[in-house]
Structure 1
């Protein structure tokens, strides 16, 4: 079995972000394979610690993927501030005899350095065209944990666990390996909170993560962190505003200062993403959605909404509002050019991570979250059938069936984009829902 099918059978997806199936990403040829180790979201600590703990495995996984897609060069992108990890990676690359094929490049401590298109430019000086993907400029991008999972897949080990950070206004900040399907409620007990009634939880990083309605969900393959903050914190209040509320607030108060556009990472790369124009259209209640196709260029990094806007408005929310309207009418953005150049002001408008952390009120909580070994013993696991982009997996187990850890329990539908799912612990199937399988552990 070749690498592609091993990765496919192991259910490897992008470990973080949207969860794109990795086998589909590797079914192409590219000049570069890039490892995204930027981890630009404040407070999250997974990638940096995995690169320290499993440097050799990650390097071998990246090399195997690079050789498969016939990349002439593999590049690891990591922030230069992680000096010890940079040194370790370079030493490992040399020890493995890969110095002619692979290199480590140091990234600046900016947000969003981990945005796929920002990363491609920082590492290769190539700009991904509007509404396109890195492959268009000869690049394939995977992150640190995905490379580790590719390495494991080569020895037949499927993805049954994920690494995530628990951080925020809590006594115990830590990074842990968690079985997929673990109840979030049980996981949060590790934070040391005696009473969580005054707290809200962000699923993911503080910038792009979404506010959980409750904590009765479960961990997926792409879970990268949970940020716990008191309900009166700025971020929680900001993320509690729904689309309609954000639209009304923005319509009444936008002063057209352009700060949202001038600091937009995609605009600075030369794209036509101009949030202030979308805000203007909202203010004047313009009906011609074709003129607002630029909203579809928004990567939802939230820099405009949480950092740039001096009036504390909701440009990203307004972009999402128009994205939905455009989708309803079947309108898709059509680029008018092929090649792009970064805007001349880009070097002077990058967002320093420390300034961002201060602006969103997280300086007090920007502390280490050490990788900690915890033996989780949940009573039940709920394993999602749609933890990835594409069609949901189809159950291949029955009620009452005993399953072993690592056993495939959900399969990709024929001729569909997707990823299989596996039992993360041994147990008995007690319920099969539309989008998940519940396993009683033991």
Structure 2
């Protein structure tokens, strides 16, 4: 079996939050393969630790992925502040005699350095075209945990575990490895908090993550972190507004200062993303669909909303409103040029992570989240059939079946984009439906 087939069989997906099936991405042919070790979301600490703990596995997995796409160079992007990890990677690249192919390149400590288009520019100087993806400029981007899973797939191991950081207003932040399908509440309770009545939880990072309406879900292969904050924290209040509330506030206050545009990472890369124009279109109920199409260039990094706007308005909501509206109307933005260049002002408008953390009110919670040895052994797991981009996995087990940890329980539908799923514990299948396969231990 080829490595590509093993990656497909193992159910490897983008572990950084996107969840794109990796076996599909690795069918591309690229000049560069880039390892996204930026982890630019405040408080999250998974990737930087994995690179320090498993450098050989990550380097070997990255090498293997690079060879699959035919890359001439494999570049590891990591923030320069992680000096210990950079040193470890450099030593191991030399020891593995991989230096002719694999190279560490340091990134500035800015947000959003982990946005794949920002990463491509920082590492190669190339600008991905509007509406495009990195392969358009000869690059494939993979996440740190993803290449670790590629390495394991090459040794016959399937994706059944996930590394997650739990941080925020808790006694001690930590990172933990948990079985896929574990109840999220079991992970959250490791924080020392038992009663979450006065707390809210952000699924993902503070910038792009959303406030969970229900914390009784289950860990998937896409989860990256959970940020626990008191409900009255201003970040929770900001993230909890509805589109109607945002529209009212925007209409009453926006003065068209265009700071949201001038600080936009995609605008600074030369794209035509201009949030202030979307604010104008929303506030004055402008009907020009042609002028609204640029909303589809928004990457939803939330910088405009949580940092740039001096009045604390909601430009991202305006982008999202028109993005969804035009999608329903089947109207698509089409670039008018093919070559893009970063704007001259970009180097003066990069947002330091420390300033962002202070603006978010998270300064007191910006601390290490060391890997913990705590073992979570849930009595029952719920493996989601929809934890990746594409069609849900088709169950291949039935109620009453006994399954062993690592066994495939869901396959990719025929002629569809998708990923296989596997059980993370040994036990008996208790329930099978369109959304979950439930398995009881033992």
Normalising by the smaller structure, the TM-score range is: over 0.9
Q: Secondary structure at the match of 1:371?
A: coil
Preserved CA contact (<8 Å) 1:178 1:376: yes
Q: Secondary structure at the match of 1:142?
A: strand
Cα deviations by residue, 1:338-373 (Å, 9 ceiling, x for unpaired): 000000000000000000000000000000100011
Distance 1:390 1:92 in 2: 36
Q: Secondary structure at the match of 1:281?
A: helix
Equivalent position of 1:113 in the other structure: 113
Distance 1:245 1:435 in 2: 32
Preserved CA contact (<8 Å) 1:172 1:190: no
Cα distance, 1:17 vs structure 2: 2.2
Kindly report which structure 2 residues correspond to 1:168-317, keeping only aligned pairs within 5 A, or say none.
168-317=168-317
Q: How many residues align?
A: 442
User: What do you get for the CA RMSD once the two structures are aligned?
Assistant: 0.8
Cα distance, 1:288 vs structure 2: 2.5
Is 1:370 matched with 2:370? yes
Q: Secondary structure at the match of 2:49?
A: helix
Is 1:403 matched with 2:403? yes
Q: Secondary structure at the match of 2:103?
A: strand
Cα distance, 1:253 vs structure 2: 1.3
Distance 2:135 2:46 in 1: 26
Equivalent position of 1:417 in the other structure: 417
Cα distance, 1:289 vs structure 2: 2.0
Cα deviations by residue, 1:168-211 (Å, 9 ceiling, x for unpaired): 00012100001100001111110011432110000000000010
Distance 1:249 1:387 in 2: 35
User: What TM-score do the two structures reach when normalised by structure 2?
Assistant: 0.99
Distance 2:270 2:17 in 1: 23
Distance 1:188 1:347 in 2: 39
Runs (4 or more) in structure 1 with deviation over 4 Å come to none
Distance 1:155 1:194 in 2: 39
Distance 1:90 1:2 in 2: 29
Distance 2:215 2:68 in 1: 40
Cα deviations by residue, 1:290-321 (Å, 9 ceiling, x for unpaired): 32010000000000000001111111111111
Alignment gaps of 5+ in structure 2: none
Preserved CA contact (<8 Å) 1:78 1:106: yes
Cα distance, 1:377 vs structure 2: 1.7
User: What TM-score do the two structures reach when normalised by structure 1?
Assistant: 0.99
Preserved CA contact (<8 Å) 2:260 2:315: yes
Equivalent position of 2:344 in the other structure: 344
Cα deviations by residue, 1:252-282 (Å, 9 ceiling, x for unpaired): 2111010000000000000000000010111
Preserved CA contact (<8 Å) 2:247 2:283: no
Cα distance, 1:39 vs structure 2: 0.3
Cα deviations by residue, 1:372-420 (Å, 9 ceiling, x for unpaired): 1121121211110010110110000001111110000010001100100
